[in-house]
Structure 1
């Protein structure tokens, strides 16, 4: 194999694929990236056996061929080469090593045969639809912070995506919860979603999708089966296994009878919560909200370091109420709101609270209270 290409093109593609590769691997071939030169392009592929990313980039192919080299090592080498340089990748005749040449720099990397590289066979996809990059990114951004990190409840370690019939027709919905908070976001369902199975997209895949969906003008092709998802984003193809489990009936935890409405300026509220929580203990992070007509008092008490209070003018005219929340969870939710105001629907100190965005109802959040 002998191929020459622009350093910036090689770096961009390597940046997309090398992130999938785990730093520590018991299987040596999984530390490598597969390079395949053919026609006028160089294709790169990396996998961790659950997630696979492939990208092709334009290149001058003098001799077609393929090999695998350490992914992180190649990425670091290319990253440190001079900007604008031409990079030549050449495998030696016996295929045991590959030379990376750019200007006066020359590196030799150990290779492993392409035949050892695993292929994440996709199988047949039952549903295909096309979706604007910014719509898919919105679904992910609004919900991913609520994904559980508790490995025992593995079915919560991802975003649940499904098509659901709503008031305005069919919606594509994303839901995530960790048992303490729940995030739900909707968009109008693209054509092709009809009858799609409910899927749980794993946390690592969600993180990669977020990074790849950086161009708002791109249209993403999504293919779904009961076991896998494949996204084509420009020249990048991401294939991932799905979490094999049943997502809980999240509708049951969304309260419907909360009648005490609190309207608060989002930015002012977030800054106030951040200030008073400075004094809270790392473990508890509890902040108390005391509500009275037109006024909210935020209080944090920490036996080890002291206390803090702050008062805010708010829209509230129901009975006085005291309720406690985890400050980090409050901040996570307010960071997702695009409108200027947050609307809290409360019931009592022991019941879940509903949070909506004043900008619209395409997303809602449920937050469990804390004892304070």
Structure 2
């Protein structure tokens, strides 16, 4: 009897086990393209571990599951528009796979994996991608058990949109590179700051279990969630673990490590003495700031706002280039005051507002407050324009 090490059948089985089990499915191309777009968005273009540039493709009898991972963030995306002839899995380059699917003109594609190679067939095309060892791909967790929070997708997406832009991008203070989640019995608040501005947005969960908790969620995890196509009234389940957050939509599950460290006591920087308050339409405010900023420079880098009972006057100047003045109506009856701001900081906040907003200041040297409804507050430091 031949030794199993010399048995060709044994070697074929071993190759299939290492590089992936035989798989054969027909998949809706647009749905597959959406899934690959989401997965490739978290893959690093450069990494010391090339295996992390791959996507694990798993076919079950009911769906196709695509999995991506970057050591801190994992994404499992489920595609239900499939017809599975043979379950199995393989591991292939995410960018290559996505490029082929994205450029295809077919409504559906046939995927077949065998002997470590993924075959992608369309009406007039046949691509082959050589796979990697499936066993080398790290496990990516799914949400198991009862979620700690259940939130409407549109409400959570609004909170993410209203906070992530204010998080620090490059900072030695690791904690403020993420967004603080303050979970209370009937309220969830997201807070972000980079030391020069602070954004806070709140939402009432559809369901909340367990006690109060504060965690710092990496910005990348939240922006990944915000890019997913989720119906506004869909429910997003959230599970908070000691060092991890898991967020599940009807089609995808995102898992991410949490940031260590302590988020600053942000209540201390929210002014309590802003006695000059005006009301203005957010779109008009945004337009005025953007136009005034057209003649600001890196040196001046600011827009001056003069507030009086006659309304607002936005002005800026660029030495040897010109000046800008924009007048805007607003509801205000207090004393005159002038204050300067970095226009980018105002524009980014006003873009996530709609309808009437209130703007509060104390004087030209103190932070200003922008409010939009009961759920959004934004604090921004002034700049010296003297």
**Do both share a fold (TM > 0.5)?**
yes
Query: For residues 332 and 145 of structure 1, what CA distance do their matches in structure 2 show?
Result: 7
Greater fraction strand: 1
Q: Deviations for 1:128-153, whole angstroms, at most 9, x for unmatched residues?
A: 22111111111111212211112312
- Residues 144 and 72 from structure 1, CA distance in 2 versus in 1: closer, same or farther, beyond 3 angstroms? same
Contact 1:199 1:226 (C-alpha < 8 Å) held by counterparts: no
1:237 is matched with which residue: 245, 249, 253?
Answer: 253
Correspondence 1:1-372 to 2 at 5 A: 1=22, 2-58=24-80, 59-84=82-107, 86-92=108-114, 94-95=115-116, 97-121=117-141, 128-164=148-184, 170-212=186-228, 214-282=230-298, 284-339=300-355, 341-357=356-372, 360-372=373-385
Shift of 1:126: 8.9
Query: For residues 282 and 78 of structure 2, what CA distance do their matches in structure 1 show?
Result: 43
Shift of 1:338: 2.0
Contact 2:143 2:253 (C-alpha < 8 Å) held by counterparts: no
CA radius of gyration, larger in: 2
Q: Deviations for 1:177-208, whole angstroms, at most 9, x for unmatched residues?
A: 11111111112244325424211111111111
Query: For residues 265 and 221 of structure 1, what CA distance do their matches in structure 2 show?
Result: 34
Shift of 1:213: 5.2
Query: For residues 132 and 35 of structure 1, what CA distance do their matches in structure 2 show?
Result: 29
- 5+ unaligned residues in a row in structure 2: which ranges? 1-21
- 5+ unaligned residues in a row in structure 1: which ranges? none
Query: For residues 319 and 332 of structure 1, what CA distance do their matches in structure 2 show?
Result: 28
Shift of 1:254: 0.6
Contact 1:29 1:112 (C-alpha < 8 Å) held by counterparts: yes
Shift of 1:79: 1.0
Q: Deviations for 1:286-345, whole angstroms, at most 9, x for unmatched residues?
A: 011122223322121222422212222322222221111111111122222222x22111
Q: Deviations for 1:214-257, whole angstroms, at most 9, x for unmatched residues?
A: 31021111111131111110121111111112111010001111
The two structures, once aligned, show a CA RMSD in angstroms of 2.0
DSSP-derived class of the 1:198 partner: strand
Q: Bigger CA drift: 75-84 or 17-26?
A: 17-26
* Aligned structure 1 segments of 4 or more residues deviating by more than 6 angstroms: 122-126
Contact 1:262 1:345 (C-alpha < 8 Å) held by counterparts: yes
Query: For residues 26 and 146 of structure 2, what CA distance do their matches in structure 1 show?
Result: 39
Query: For residues 213 and 79 of structure 1, what CA distance do their matches in structure 2 show?
Result: 17
Contact 2:75 2:255 (C-alpha < 8 Å) held by counterparts: yes
Figure out how many residues of one structure are paired with residues of the other and give that number.
Answer: 362
Shift of 1:112: 0.4
- Residues 213 and 186 from structure 1, CA distance in 2 versus in 1: closer, same or farther, beyond 3 angstroms? farther
- Residues 6 and 338 from structure 1, CA distance in 2 versus in 1: closer, same or farther, beyond 3 angstroms? same
Q: What's the TM-score once normalised by structure 2's chain length?
A: 0.88
Shift of 1:125: 8.1
Query: For residues 283 and 196 of structure 1, what CA distance do their matches in structure 2 show?
Result: 45
DSSP-derived class of the 2:148 partner: strand
Query: For residues 80 and 45 of structure 1, what CA distance do their matches in structure 2 show?
Result: 21
DSSP-derived class of the 1:336 partner: coil
Shift of 1:164: 4.1
Contact 2:53 2:94 (C-alpha < 8 Å) held by counterparts: yes
Contact 1:172 1:193 (C-alpha < 8 Å) held by counterparts: no
